[in-house]
Chain A
Amino acid sequence: MAEIDNNNNININNIDKNNIDNAVDNIKEEIKIEVKNLNFYYGDYHLLKDINLFFKKNSVCTILGPSGCGKSSFLRTLNRMNDYTEGSKLKGEVLLDGKNIYGKSIDVVELRRNVGMVFQNPNPFPKTIFENIAFGLKIHGIKNKQFIAERVEKCLKYAGLLDEVKDKLHKNAFSLSGGQQQRLCIARAIATNPSVLLMDEPTAYLDPASTATILDLIANFKKFYTIIIVSHNIQQAGRISDYSGFFLNGELIEFSKSGDFFTRPKDKRTENFITNRF
C-alpha cells in the first residue's frame, strides 16, 4: 500500500480514521489493473521476475527499458497474448477490475475485447479500410449494418483519420501511409469498445510528424481508456505519460509518477537510463 500512497498523492495520515475504509475503496476503484507477483518464464529462461505494480484508471503509463528487458512480454501478459507462445509459463496474478485474468472463469475472447492492443509495426489486415474496423465488430457477432457503419465512422473520427480516408473507405488499407496505417490500427483497436489500450512501441517505425499526431491522440484518449505504452523513447514518455516504469533484465526497477520518475529517480540504474547511459 505504501507505493499507492506515494503515487496517488493521498496522504493516509490526514484522513479521519472513520473514513479510512472509504479512502481505500476509492483507491481500489481507481485502480484498473493490478499486477501481483508476476513471474514469466520462456522455456527455462526466467524472463519477468516478481513484478508488482498497478495502473490507475484513465491514466497513461509508459514502460521504459532497454531492448530485451522483457517490457514487451510484460505488456503481452496483460491481454494473454503470450498464451500462444510455445513453452511459456506464468505465475502470479493480473487483476483487471479486481478479477484475475488468469483465473479459470475468464473468457479470453471477452478479455481481449476489453483490452485492446496496438502493435509496433502498423499491421492492418489485407482488407479495405472499412472492413479492417468492421472486423472487430463482426467477430463479436454484430450484424447490424447501420450500427457497424456508424461505429466505423466514429472510430475513424476518434483516431483523427476520418477526413483523410472519407472518400476511400472501400480501398485497400495498404494504400495508406505508415502513420495513417498505425492510426487505422488504433481505430481498429477501439472499435470493440475496450477500457484498456496496450501499445507496444506504437511510434517506433513512424516519421516525426506521424509520431506527433499519435502522441496527441494518446493524450486525448486518456479520458476514455487506461493506456499502457511500451517505449524506449525517453522524451516521448516524459511528454505524454502520467506514470512511468523502468524495466531492466526482467525486473521492475522503479515505478512512479512521471514527474518524480524523470526528475528525482530513486534508483541509480533508472537515473543512468534516463541520462542515456545504457
Chain B
Amino acid sequence: MTEKENNKKTEDAGNYFPVNKSYIKRKKIYNRIAYASAALAFIIGAFPVFHIIYSALIIGYKYLNWNFVSTLPSGFPIGAKGGILNAIIGDFYLVIIASCLAVPLGIGSGLYLSLFGKKRTNSIIRLLNELMIGIPSVVWGIMGFYIFSTNAGLGFHFGFSALAAGLTLGFIMTPIVTLLTEQAVNRIPASYIEGALAMGATKWQATKSVIVKAAMGGIFTAVLLGVLNIIGQTAPLLFTNYYNTGMPTGITGPGGAVGDLAMLIFIYIHEPSRILHYKAEAASVVLLFFVFALDIGMRLISWVTVKIFEML
C-alpha cells in the first residue's frame, strides 16, 4: 500500500461506514420470523378459548333458553327436566359471601403492604401471599372442611353449606386481591402521597382521600380477578358444600348447601345420561356468559366510580 492511499484512508475515516449488505437482508427476515412466531403463539394460546365456546354452543345450544336459567332442575335423573336456577342462585350466594371476607381483607392488606409496612416484613408477607396463590384448590377444600364444615372436633360446625364454602372461597380470593391491590397502589405516583403528607395529612388521610381514589380502577380489577378466579372453583366445594338441587333454606347447617354452576357441570357430566351431558355443556355457556358479563359490568362500574370520585 502506498503512502498516498494510506493517507486517503485516514482522511475518510470520519465518513466511512462499513455497510454489511447480507446482514441488512437477514435482519429483515429475522423481523418477519419474530412477528410470525408472536402471532402463532397468540393463535395457539387463544385456540382453547374459541374451541370451548364453539363446542359448548354446538352441543348445548338447544337447551339455551329462558326456561333453562329460570327453573329448578326436576325429573329423573334429577336435572333431566327443568333448568339450572339453583346453581345460578348458589353462585350468587358464594360470590357474595366470599367477597364479604376477601374484599376488606385483601384491600386492607394490599394497602398495608404498599403504604405502611417495612421492607423486610413486606417481603415475607408477599412471599406468603404468593405461596397461598400456589396452594392447590383441593387443599383449600380440605382446610375448609376441617375449619368450617366438619361437625367433629374444633371448628365452626357450619356443615356442608354456603357459608362454609363461601368463606373457603374467600380465603382463596384474598391473596389475589392483596397482591393486585398492592400493585395498583404502587402504580400511583409517589408524588401524590408526598403532596398530601406535605400539607399535613396523616398517612391514613392521604391513603383514604388520595391514594384509594387514584387507585380505584386498579382495586376494582383486583376484586374482579379474584371473583373470576373463585367462580369456577369446583374442588373446594366438594368438601365444604357439595351440591343442592333445590333452593337453600339458610346459609349454614342442613339446607344451607347451595347449587353451583361448576359443581353442576362436574356432576352432570358424570351421569350416564345424554340429556345431562348436553345440559352440562349449556350450563358451561351460561357460566362463560356470567364471567363475560361480570368482566364488562365491573369495568363499567369501575369507570363510573372513578369518574364520580374525581368530582369529590
- Chain A contacts to B: CB under 8 angstroms: 79, 81, 84, 86, 109-113, 116-117, 119, 121, 123-128, 131, 135-136, 138-140, 170, 172, 185, 188-189, 191-192
Cβ distance B306 to chain A, nearest Cβ, rounded Å: 9
24 examples of A-B residue contacts, CB within 8 angstroms: A79-B198, A81-B194, A81-B197, A84-B197, A86-B118, A109-B200, A109-B202, A112-B198, A112-B199, A113-B199, A113-B200, A116-B198, A116-B199, A119-B195, A121-B191, A123-B191, A124-B195, A126-B192, A127-B213, A128-B311, A136-B199, A138-B209, A140-B200, A170-B311
Shortest beta-carbon contacts, A-B, top 9 = A123-B191, A117-B198, A113-B200, A112-B200, A139-B201, A136-B199, A123-B195, A109-B200, A139-B205
Give 17 A-B pairs besides A125-B196, A126-B213 with Cβ atoms closer than 8 angstroms. A81-B194, A84-B197, A123-B194, A125-B192, A125-B214, A126-B210, A135-B209, A135-B210, A136-B200, A138-B209, A139-B201, A139-B209, A140-B200, A172-B310, A188-B199, A189-B199, A192-B200
Quick check: is B28 within 8 A (CB to CB) of the other chain?
no
Cβ distance A228 to chain B, nearest Cβ, rounded Å: 14
- Chain B contacts to A: CB under 8 angstroms: 118-119, 189, 191-192, 194-202, 205, 209-210, 213-214, 310-312
Alpha-carbon gap, A124 to B199, bound state (A): 12
Cβ distance B153 to chain A, nearest Cβ, rounded Å: 45
What B residues does A170 contact at CB under 8 A?
311
Known: A125-B210, A128-B310. A185 touches B195 (CB 8 A): yes
Contact A139 B191 (CB under 8 A): no
What A residues does B209 contact at CB under 8 A?
135, 138-139
Alpha-carbon gap, A156 to B198, bound state (A): 19
What A residues does B201 contact at CB under 8 A?
109, 135, 139
Known: A125-B192, A127-B310. A139 touches B199 (CB 8 A): yes
Cβ distance A171 to chain B, nearest Cβ, rounded Å: 9
What B residues does A131 contact at CB under 8 A?
312
Contact A135 B311 (CB under 8 A): no
